[in-house]
A and B are shown apart, each in its own frame.
Chain A
Amino acid sequence: MTSSGEPLVLGIESSCDETGVALVRGNDLLFDAVASSMEEHARFGGIIPEVASRAHLEAMVPTIERALDEAGVTLSDVDAVAVTAGPGLVGPLTIGTSAAKALSIGLGKPLYGVNHVIGHACVDQLSGGEFPDRVMALVVSGGHSSLLLVDDIATDVTELGSTLDDAAGEAFDKVGRLLGLPYPGGPHVDRLAREGDPTAIRFPRGLTAPKDQERHAYNFSFSGLKTAVARWVEARTDAGKDIPVEDVCASFAEAVADVLTAKTIAACRRHDVDTLVIGGGFSANSQLREMAAKRCAEAGITLRIPPIRHCTDNGAMIAALGSAVVRAGVAPSGLDIPVDSSMPLETITV
Chain B
Amino acid sequence: MSGRTVTPGNGATAGAGSTSQTGTTPQDGAPAKGSDADAVAASTVRAAVRALGAGAGSVTLELPDADATRALGATLAELLRAGDLVILTGDLGAGKTTLTQGLGRALGVRGQVASPTFIIAREHPPLPRQDGTRGPALVHVDAYRLGGLGELDALDLDSSLDESVTVVEWGRGLAEALTEDRLEIDLARPRGGEPDPDDPESGVRRATIRGVGERWTGPRA
| Interface of A toward B, CB cutoff 8 Å | 16, 44-51, 53, 87-91, 142-143, 162-167, 169-170, 173-174, 177-178, 202-204, 206, 209, 223-228, 230-231, 234-235, 237-238, 341-342, 344
A235 to B191, CA, bound (A): 7
Closest chain-A Cβ to B155's Cβ sits at a distance in Å of: 6
Contacts of A341 in B (CB 8 A): 119, 121-123
Contacts of B124 in A (CB 8 A): 342
Interface pair B114/A167, CB less than 8 Å apart: yes
In this complex, how many residues of chain B approach chain A with their Cβ under 8 Å: the count is 43
Interface pair B189/A90, CB less than 8 Å apart: no
**4 interchain residue pairs of minimum CB distance:** A224-B200, A227-B93, A50-B154, A46-B145
Closest chain-B Cβ to A26's Cβ sits at a distance in Å of: 32
Contacts of B106 in A (CB 8 A): none
Closest chain-B Cβ to A170's Cβ sits at a distance in Å of: 5
Knowing A230-B92, A238-B191, A238-B192, say if A165 contacts B122 (CB, 8 Å): no
Closest chain-A Cβ to B212's Cβ sits at a distance in Å of: 26
| Set A90, A206, A223, A237: member contacting B93, Cβ < 8 A | A223
Using a Cβ cutoff of 8 Å, how many contacts connect chains A and B? Answer: 132
| Set A44, A46, A174, A228: member contacting B195, Cβ < 8 A | A228
Interface pair A170/B123, CB less than 8 Å apart: no
Closest chain-B Cβ to A314's Cβ sits at a distance in Å of: 17
Interface pair B145/A47, CB less than 8 Å apart: yes
Closest chain-A Cβ to B128's Cβ sits at a distance in Å of: 15
Smallest Cβ-Cβ distance to A202: which chain B residue: B197
CB interface residues, B 143-185, toward A, < 8 Å: 144-147, 150-151, 153-156
Q: What are 8 sample pairs from A and B whose C-beta atoms fall under 8 A apart?
A: A49-B155, A50-B154, A87-B119, A142-B118, A164-B101, A166-B117, A173-B117, A227-B195
Interface pair B197/A204, CB less than 8 Å apart: yes
Interface pair B114/A163, CB less than 8 Å apart: yes
Interface pair B120/A204, CB less than 8 Å apart: no
B115 on the interface (CB 8 Å rule)?
A: yes
Smallest Cβ-Cβ distance to A233: which chain B residue: B192
User: 1/0 per residue B186-197: CB within 8 Å of A?
Assistant: 000111111111
Contacts of B144 in A (CB 8 A): 46
Smallest Cβ-Cβ distance to B147: which chain A residue: A44
Closest chain-B Cβ to A165's Cβ sits at a distance in Å of: 5
Smallest Cβ-Cβ distance to A49: which chain B residue: B154
| Set A48, A170, A203: member contacting B115, Cβ < 8 A | A170
Knowing A165-B98, A202-B197, say if A230 contacts B111 (CB, 8 Å): no
Closest chain-A Cβ to B205's Cβ sits at a distance in Å of: 11
Interface pair A231/B93, CB less than 8 Å apart: yes
Interface pair A174/B92, CB less than 8 Å apart: yes
B112 on the interface (CB 8 Å rule)?
A: yes
A164 to B100, CA, bound (A): 12
Smallest Cβ-Cβ distance to A235: which chain B residue: B192
B110 on the interface (CB 8 Å rule)?
A: yes
Knowing A88-B119, A206-B200, say if A48 contacts B114 (CB, 8 Å): no
With A87-B122, A344-B110 known, 12 other A-B pairs at CB within 8 A are A16-B119, A46-B144, A49-B154, A49-B155, A90-B123, A91-B154, A163-B114, A165-B114, A173-B118, A223-B201, A224-B199, A342-B122
Knowing A48-B145, A224-B200, A227-B93, say if A89 contacts B121 (CB, 8 Å): yes
Contacts of B191 in A (CB 8 A): 231, 234, 238
Smallest Cβ-Cβ distance to B139: which chain A residue: A341
A162 to B111, CA, bound (A): 11
